[in-house]
Amino acid sequence: MSTPADKAKETANLTWRRYKDGDHEWNEMREKIFEADHTHKCPTYVHQTPPCQGSCPSGEDIRGWLNIVRGIEKPAPGMTWQEYAFRRSTQANPFPSIMGRVCPAPCEDGCNRNQVDDRVGINSVEQYIGDSALKNKLAFTAAAETGKKVAIIGGGPCGLAAAYQLRLRGHACTVFDDHEDLGGMMRYGIPGYRTPRDVLDGEIKRILDMGVQLKLKTRVGTDVTMEQLQKDFDAVLIAVGAQSGRNLPIPGSDASNCISGVAFLSAFNEGRLKTVSGRVVVVGGGDTSIDVASVARRLGQITNIAEKDRPENIVLGYTAHDVIDIARREGADVMLISRHPLEKMTAAEREVKEAMHEGVQIQGCLDPIEVIKDPATGRAKALRVCEMKYEGNKGVRVPGTEKDLDCDLIVSAIGQSGDMRGFEAYDNGKGLINADKFYQVPGKPGVFVAGDIVRPHLLTTVIGQASVAVESIDHYLKHAEVTRRPKVDVHHFHLLDKLREQGLEPQKFVAETEAVREVDRGLRGTSEEKFAVHNYEDRSTHQIIPSTELFLAHFPAVDRNKRSESVPSAEEVLGHFEERLHALNEEQTIAEAKRCMSCGMCFECDNCVIFCPQEAVKRTPKKESTMGRYVYTDYARCIGCHICADVCPTGYIKMGLGE
């Protein structure tokens, strides 16, 4: 931005200089005092990424949909704020209702509001948005067909998110999955009281209704080969997940009643496992181990159980619990042990506390060293453990503290790998598949991979990977070179898109050609032109705004609006499979969204307008105003006093213009 030539003429003959070359000190203190209230700098408006979004593995525009919920960013005429927030949220993640329930919310850990009182309940707002969309039967719309076809191997969160992103780009896709139902770990790895099946089915159906083709109960590598898929499709995405659990790496772990947490939860979620027997010892410390222990408590145990009904026989698929005498069930004795201290366990703190409330015994700093077998049956009868102590992050065993934990079932939840049958050529030796930073399989043109099969992690992580993989697939299908990923690789708010949405798109730029105009002004004076967005800088792709750049004193302490929960006690947990979380209502949701500090983006507080001593900062005329364009600066009045930047709560104003 620069001064128009016609105004510049008024001062064209100025030759006076206050300082000579090399001067850097004030001549006298009186001059310093009287000059201290202004500078050569003027405010510019700088868009940065908030830490909630920077911490979100799926890269949701969290600040964006929170500002929609609170009423700052307005939808187009005829659209409710609920739908507008849903559309913004699902640009990155097509499962807001499920993720609002089960995501451990790293976004909330990064929230700058933690420096004031307590984090914003982002998950609770997301659940409301997702549930509202299901209630109102909101649908997705696919783009015009491109004629390209992509095979997706795996119908879990990664594969389905990829199908969604591909259909948004108009590419046809077919999902191959070896289960009867879609959902992957959302269905078979997480119990239904955390991911209600009607909610899960609703969010999956919305994706399928975009025109996604299905091949269920079809295993790639057995029923169809990778080579055939590569012939029939323009690209292939491997998103098979990591549905094979890891055994305990200790002697005796080959006992028949030593099973994996993944297999245990799959048998339960498929409806085959209906009870346990004897004492259950779960080894882990992450969310999967908590789910196993909590499910075992709900299932309860039957003493003197028939051999065919032992849990390991059910889990391994030898039989099924067709009929179980529910009246004979009693509370199961369940212990969860972790090598780490309780406060260092990777499971969400809330989940740990709730499991303990439900009667699960949880003990940290115990290291499994051997499975003790019954010589007569070969089954595990105890797990030998040793206490550990930590010096920094390194744990060591404490000699002489060994003890045996009696048990009838040992469940290992210490990690996962992929089922590599049919994918042996892709195995990196760890039961996983390598990917480059664009989620291409190295040395395999047209083959891409994403999700837990690359690195087991959170549901939100695999959804984010799917989005990046689809961008790479899109480039591949268009024979375009994949471009460098941004430093802050998330779904950003784009001011130009917002201006287009509101009918405020800048005019088309036409280079000056008239000689008289070139002489008179050229391209130097742009402040009054309509072909550019003035005094605005987008740093969101490479910069996350810290709390130190905010004016925190603007924000009073406000209690978080918390969702209520129905967590059963140890006496009530048997047979309790109802959902525990209860969503916020509309009023509570809006109130919680208002706690967002809108870090890195104007939220229209008027501080800069109110406190500017020169009345240089003004509201943008209503017909030209939109999100991020609420105020502008009259630079003929601005003296560079910095006050607007000092009182900006969100760090959106920087005194950078003129540097």
Specify the CATH number for the domain of residue 192.
3.50.50.60
Of 411, 440, 474, the position where a domain reaches its end is: 411
Q: Is 35 exposed, middle or buried (0-12, 13-18, 19+ CB in 10 A)?
A: exposed
If asked whether residues 609 and 645 sit together in one domain, one would say yes
What pLDDT digit, counting tens, does each position of 182-219 carry? 999 999 999 999 999 999 999 999 999 999 999 999 99
What pLDDT digit, counting tens, does each position of 452-510 carry? 999 999 999 999 999 999 999 999 999 998 888 999 999 999 999 898 888 888 878 76
Give the dihedral sign, CA 374/375/379/380. positive
Residue 549 lies in a domain: no
Write out the two tokens for 233.
Answer: 């499709």
Residue 62 lies in a domain: no
Tell me the residue range of the domain where 10 lies.
Answer: 5-48+499-540+600-657
Mean pLDDT for the stretch of residues 441-449:
96
If asked whether residues 503 and 447 sit together in one domain, one would say no
Model-level pTM greater than 0.85?
Answer: yes
Residue 504 has a pLDDT of: 87
- Residue type, position 375, single letter: P
Residue 1 has a pLDDT of: 43
Residue 593 lies in a domain: no
Mean pLDDT for the stretch of residues 356-361:
96
If asked whether residues 161 and 178 sit together in one domain, one would say yes
- Alpha helix segments (H runs only) across 362-494: 459-477
Residue 112 lies in a domain: no
Find the angle CA(74)-CA(80)-CA(85) to the nearest 5 degrees.
65
| Strand order, beta sheet including 149-153 | 213-216, 172-177, 149-153, 235-238, 447-449
Q: Are 25 and 551 in contact (CB under 8 A)?
A: no
Q: Is the pLDDT of residue 626 over 70?
A: yes
- More confident: 546 or 21: 546
Q: Is the pLDDT of residue 23 over 80?
A: no
Of 364, 382, 411, the position where a domain reaches its end is: 411
The CA distances from residue 325 to 276, 330, 408, 573, in Å, are 12, 11, 20, 18
Residue 516 has a pLDDT of: 45
For residues 122 and 109, what is the distance between their CA atoms, to the nearest angstrom?
10
Residue 533 has a pLDDT of: 79
The CA distances from residue 430 to 20, 225, 346, 419, in Å, are 68, 22, 22, 11
Three-state SS for 101?
helix
- Looking at every residue in the chain, the average pLDDT score rounds to 90
- Kindly give, in sequence order, each residue whose CB lies less than 8 Å from that of residue 576, ignoring residues fewer than 6 positions away: 193, 298, 568
Number of domain units in the chain: 3
DSSP codes, 353-383: HHHHHTT-EEE-SEEEEEEEEPTTT--EEEE
DSSP codes, 566-620: ----TTT-TT--S--EE---HHHHHHHHTT---TTS-----HHHHH-TTS-EEEP
If asked whether residues 290 and 388 sit together in one domain, one would say yes
Angle between helices 62-69 and 586-593 (to 10 degrees): 130
If asked whether residues 291 and 387 sit together in one domain, one would say yes
Query: Which residues, in sequence order, are bridge partners of residue 654?
Result: 44
If asked whether residues 278 and 391 sit together in one domain, one would say yes
Residue 621 has a pLDDT of: 92
If asked whether residues 285 and 179 sit together in one domain, one would say no
For residues 275 and 311, what is the distance between their CA atoms, to the nearest angstrom?
7
Percentage above 70 pLDDT, the chain: 89
